[in-house]
Structure 1
Amino acid sequence: LCFRYQLDLCKRALEENIIVYLGTGCGKTHIAVLLIYELGHLIRKPRRDVCIFLAPTVPLVLQQATVIANSTNFRVQSYYGDGKTPRDHENWETEMAESEVLVMTPQILLHSLQHCFIKMDSIALLIFDECHHAQVHKRHPYAQIMKEFYNNDMVKPPRIFGMTASPVMGKGGSNKLNYTKCINSLEELLHAKVCSVDNAELESVLAFPDMEVHTYVPLSQSNLTVTYNKELDRSKLESERILRESLYDFKDSQKKLKSLGRLHGNLVFCLQELGSFGALQAAKAFLLSFDGDVLDRKESDMNDNSTRFKHHYLNKAISVLSSNILDG
């Protein structure tokens, strides 16, 4: 079963290279399966040509290979650098002779093309899942495959089919100029046109959740948290005094004061966001980490009073934060 928009996009993909731009859950993979089925006459054995389906991660490779195998009767194999991937011409020739749909990570195909294990003219259909990674200015394997091995002058170029839920990489998706630039880059590199479906058509056949945004104001601090904050501030001041008394190098003391300030800031953050118990666990973890660093130092460094300030601060913090917990 499939929806009309999926059939329409599949028909469009039979005519030219396209990039299907649809949201998550709108059935992009199903369109790819329909396309593989429609072009099946090009890859059915004993033909030597194959369909290669690229997915950027190992979980996606395994997932898409399973979907294709369960939805069709093609011979499907997956490759993702697990030690079983063919590494020479002979083994790849065997794989190409026995398989019809090869699902793999892009690095596998790039390596195979670079070593002539696989040739671009033996690929009848080349599918890019999450194809937004293919940008002209990037060195992603998707981009390298298209830049180095695909051109319109090929005698038998593969049909290109891309899928993405967002044609824009990274930040700036709301910027119209950046949005247009990314789409143009994607179309240029994949030699394909971006195609989508009107939201009204999708809403008529798919169930979309109603979105509600609830904004919460920050919680007011409890009296206990305020008390702990004051005690931690007092411990910080005491530790700063110890530090100044033990160090005569101004530059070194300023560096260590900043380090103490960061440590104090982290504990205060944990106290405000996680409560006294969370802050207590953080203080214990910091102390354990600090003790491990000290053990790795030379014996001469261990006698240096300049290391006392962190110990003093963390021990005082643990004492303060654990008092109410122990009392409870």
Structure 2
Amino acid sequence: MPLSHPLLKGEISPRAYQETIFVKSKDKNTLVILPTGLGKTYIAILLTAYTLQSKEKKVLVLAPTKPLAEQHLKSFSEILNIEKESFSLLTGTVSPIKREDLYTESLVIIATPQVIENDILTGKIDLDEFGLIIFDEAHRATGDYAYTYIAEKAISKDIRILGLTASPASDKEKMQDIIKNLGIENIEIRNENSPDVKSYVQELDISWISVKLPEEFLEIKKLLEILLKKEIKDLKDLGFFSSLEVTKKEILATVPKINNKIKEVPLKEKSVYYGALKSQAKALKIHHALELLETQGISPLISYFKRMREGKSRSSIELLSEKNIMKILTMADNLSQRGIEHPKLSKLYEIVVNEVKKGKNIIIFSHYRDTTMRIVKELSKFEGVNVERFVGQASKKGDEGLSQKKQKEIIERFRLGEFNVLVATSVAEEGLDIPEVDMVILFEPVPSEIRSIQRRGRTARRRSGEVVILMAEKTRDEGYYWASKKKERQMKHTVMELKRDFTKNEGVSMAEKGQSKLKDFLVMPEIIVDDREDKRVVKILSEIARIKVNRLDVGDYILSNRIGVERKSSHDFIESLIKGTLFPQILSLSNAYEVPLLIVEGEDVYSVRNMDKKSIRGAIISAMVDLRVRVIFTNTPEETANYLVEISLREQKEKDRLPAIRGEKKVMSLKEKQLFIVEGLPEVSSVLSRRLLRRFGSVLGVFNADEIELKDVEGVGEIKAKKIRDVIDSQYEEI
């Protein structure tokens, strides 16, 4: 039945499930899991109207990419009955000063999360003004992603949270993390078979087409597998594997294990494990070559070996010198000259040509940019096929990326029907307003359930659609396909299980909401932080200090008007030492601050690289002795933050030692110069230096005072007076 609301344009007719979800979302932090095309955004708009009117609070809408944020701005402004000026779109292109004004002026703010995270840290946004925060693509709320930090702040202020996703995680632990991080109290899940949704779901025909690899491919595959087993066996013999059958994930996981061994074993045994690192690198490269051959074809394989030769890493040079690799390259070149490519390509061209004749528009997804280039080149030769390529912004040799402006232009042209086939990498899976299409073709299956759902979601939104998956028999294609299917089933099972837990327990406990924290009662120091500094440390600092974020010319932190800090991870410290950038940086720090500090954070610097320990010690000694930079070693970001706060607290007990930005040594006033000179006397603090100058009127007066006169000043005893006179009266001698 049509309804009306003063903040919604015209009459509205929400579907029954949308109304149900909206009602439940008003009073509990809710995670909404709905297939693409079933109106998650509409639910968010209804909740926005409710928050603006009933709570008289602002609304923040978060989206992971600028194009998706722009899409939300369009959707919200078309339905919400509020002034155009009440909406704001905030991305990294909007200046911080302008953002501060927009936070004040706007009712609905649509933004990318990194901008909001930075503005919370710098105090530019007041979350107390908001009654609702919407997290689109909520499955991203894990780890260090900005959603996690923003949600933590929202929960502490009792702000209503709405999470939206079509593709949550299959892993129960990850799903629990998302729920915990977003403070979720209620899960609303619907799938294609839910009774209240079924009638709105468009028919989606999913089929997969299998092809056989040519014999020549199988010969190359066999040679690559021999090479791979050789490297895996070397790693197995050292105890890093229990079997010769390993996955790419398992190969990647050996690096920290090998590095730990290098730290543990005696010097004479280290070379064995440096060799293991080389074997690991070669195994990874061979594994990737196998994947390219099986799933993409000869041209991408040749291109990969060419890039490997240009990279000139030690493992690449050794690998390319293998007889079997030389044989593989000869065979691959021969196949390329004969025009023999992956059979999926000819099958793809056949499907596209036939479907385009029926007037269909198509998206083709491929994981590799090399493959998309080849597909576009070949499809361009067919009559009636108008094709465009769609890739990310990053550029590489011989392949220029697309700016966001160019991406938007291509999408708009596709929407207008200027071409009928879009060949895209994973960049088109999520976060872009890609028009609905009649058919989605996956050139290769992907092992991720989230990515599979995102790709399929590009069709069958408002009309029926088709998904075609191309697979090569007895290859990684089949493994990835079944892995994705299994994860999808697991995802549905996991979500339903968690929903049952919610129903049973009536949501998670939110006892901490709105409670005062210890930091609310502490005196916190002020610290100035460089805007490029590691967010992990900055987030920890924001809980125990009042931080100001600015672009600093010198150093990463300013703790007082005389202390500047450069922070480096152990790895960065060694890398900057090798590249020769360390000493110029700390020299600038030493020139700019009276007390320069260098904090080196993380693992033991001697174990980071195979670098001479004496050289590392020499650099540390030179920093301390020649450049008078104090060096502090910490293990974790938490320990670093604690050092910064404790030093700041100690410094800022003196009222004139608050931090101030500067890029070079401050020009002292006459008073500061006088205090500086007198503070140089033994055991004379800044407080005592003021007493001495007040008592004797000038620096010369202090220097002329005898021991009896000095003892008349509060804080100067017989021993201290003698020490002061000794410094003033003693003859200077060269060492």
Pick the TM interval, shorter chain: 0.5 to 0.7
Is the Cα contact below 8 Å between 1:51 and 1:100 reproduced in 2?
yes
Is the Cα contact below 8 Å between 1:13 and 1:161 reproduced in 2?
yes
Instruction: Show the counterpart of 1:305.
Output: none
Is the Cα contact below 8 Å between 1:65 and 1:78 reproduced in 2?
yes
Q: Is 2:35 the partner of 1:23?
A: yes
Deviation at 1:151, TM superposition (A): 3.7
Pick 1 or 2: higher relative contact order, CA cutoff 8 A, min separation 6.
1
Is the Cα contact below 8 Å between 1:50 and 1:96 reproduced in 2?
no
Residue 99 and residue 221 in structure 1: after superposition, are their counterparts in 2 closer, same or farther (change >3 A)? same
Deviations 1:92-133 (A, max 9, x none): 442123211100100010010000001222221100000100
Instruction: Show the counterpart of 1:190.
Output: 182
Is the Cα contact below 8 Å between 2:131 and 2:159 reproduced in 1?
yes
Separation in 2 of the partners of 1:98 and 1:254? Answer: 62
Separation in 2 of the partners of 1:56 and 1:253? Answer: 40
Q: Is 2:103 the partner of 1:96?
A: yes
Tell which deviates more after alignment, 28-37 or 204-213: 204-213
Question: 132, 137, 146: which is aligned to 1:141?
Answer: 146
Instruction: Show the counterpart of 2:62.
Output: 54
Separation in 2 of the partners of 1:112 and 1:64? Answer: 21
Deviation at 1:194, TM superposition (A): 2.2
Separation in 1 of the partners of 2:79 and 2:37? Answer: 17
Instruction: Show the counterpart of 2:307.
Output: none
Instruction: Show the counterpart of 2:659.
Output: none
Instruction: Show the counterpart of 1:216.
Output: 210
Deviation at 1:214, TM superposition (A): 4.1
Gaps of at least 5 residues in structure 1 are 223-250, 276-280, 283-288, 290-328
Is the Cα contact below 8 Å between 1:51 and 1:126 reproduced in 2?
yes
Separation in 2 of the partners of 1:187 and 1:106? Answer: 18
Separation in 1 of the partners of 2:133 and 2:175? Answer: 19
Kindly, what percent of the aligned residue pairs are identical? 24
Deviations 1:224-273 (A, max 9, x none): xxxxxxxxxxxxxxxxxxxxxxxxxxx97971646534534654377232
**Residue aligned with 1:128, SS:** strand
* Equivalent residue letter for 2:61: F
**Residue aligned with 2:73, SS:** helix
Is the Cα contact below 8 Å between 1:53 and 1:103 reproduced in 2?
yes
Q: Is 2:56 the partner of 1:41?
A: no
Separation in 2 of the partners of 1:97 and 1:43? Answer: 17
Instruction: Show the counterpart of 1:67.
Output: 75
Deviations 1:204-235 (A, max 9, x none): 4313324342433337689xxxxxxxxxxxxx
**Residue aligned with 1:216, SS:** strand
Separation in 2 of the partners of 1:164 and 1:253? Answer: 44
Residue 22 and residue 217 in structure 1: after superposition, are their counterparts in 2 closer, same or farther (change >3 A)? same
* Equivalent residue letter for 1:143: T
Separation in 2 of the partners of 1:182 and 1:120? Answer: 27
**Residue aligned with 1:215, SS:** strand
Instruction: Show the counterpart of 1:240.
Output: none
Separation in 1 of the partners of 2:77 and 2:207? Answer: 40
Deviation at 1:160, TM superposition (A): 0.3
Q: Is 2:96 the partner of 1:87?
A: yes
Instruction: Show the counterpart of 1:117.
Output: 124
Separation in 1 of the partners of 2:177 and 2:18? Answer: 25
Is the Cα contact below 8 Å between 1:42 and 1:124 reproduced in 2?
no
Residue 209 and residue 265 in structure 1: after superposition, are their counterparts in 2 closer, same or farther (change >3 A)? farther
Instruction: Show the counterpart of 1:278.
Output: none
**Residue aligned with 1:63, SS:** helix
Q: TM-score, normalised by structure 1?
A: 0.61
Instruction: Show the counterpart of 1:200.
Output: 194
Is the Cα contact below 8 Å between 2:90 and 2:99 reproduced in 1?
no
**Residue aligned with 1:272, SS:** coil
Deviations 1:18-69 (A, max 9, x none): 010111111100100111111122676xxxx421100001110000111000
Deviation at 1:79, TM superposition (A): 1.2
Deviations 1:112-165 (A, max 9, x none): 000000122222110000010002xx1111122234x2444x3xx211000001
Residue 216 and residue 100 in structure 1: after superposition, are their counterparts in 2 closer, same or farther (change >3 A)? same
Separation in 2 of the partners of 1:72 and 1:253? Answer: 61
* Equivalent residue letter for 1:87: P
Separation in 2 of the partners of 1:252 and 1:184? Answer: 45
* Equivalent residue letter for 2:79: S
Instruction: Show the counterpart of 2:173.
Output: 181
**Residue aligned with 2:135, SS:** strand
Gaps of at least 5 residues in structure 2 are 1-12, 217-316, 347-372, 375-396, 398-735
Is the Cα contact below 8 Å between 2:137 and 2:163 reproduced in 1?
yes
Separation in 2 of the partners of 1:254 and 1:86? Answer: 49
Instruction: Show the counterpart of 1:107.
Output: 114
Q: TM-score, normalised by structure 2?
A: 0.29
Question: 334, 337, 341: which is aligned to 1:272?
Answer: 341
Separation in 1 of the partners of 2:151 and 2:328? Answer: 47
* Equivalent residue letter for 1:271: I
Instruction: Show the counterpart of 1:14.
Output: 26
Residue 111 and residue 214 in structure 1: after superposition, are their counterparts in 2 closer, same or farther (change >3 A)? closer
Instruction: Judging by fraction of residues, say which structure has more helix.
Output: 1
Q: Which has the larger radius of gyration?
A: 2
Residue 67 and residue 12 in structure 1: after superposition, are their counterparts in 2 closer, same or farther (change >3 A)? same
Q: Is 2:275 the partner of 1:263?
A: no
Separation in 2 of the partners of 1:37 and 1:98? Answer: 17
Is the Cα contact below 8 Å between 1:64 and 1:103 reproduced in 2?
yes
Tell which deviates more after alignment, 186-195 or 17-26: 186-195
Q: Is 2:166 the partner of 1:165?
A: yes
Separation in 2 of the partners of 1:183 and 1:142? Answer: 15
* Equivalent residue letter for 1:22: L
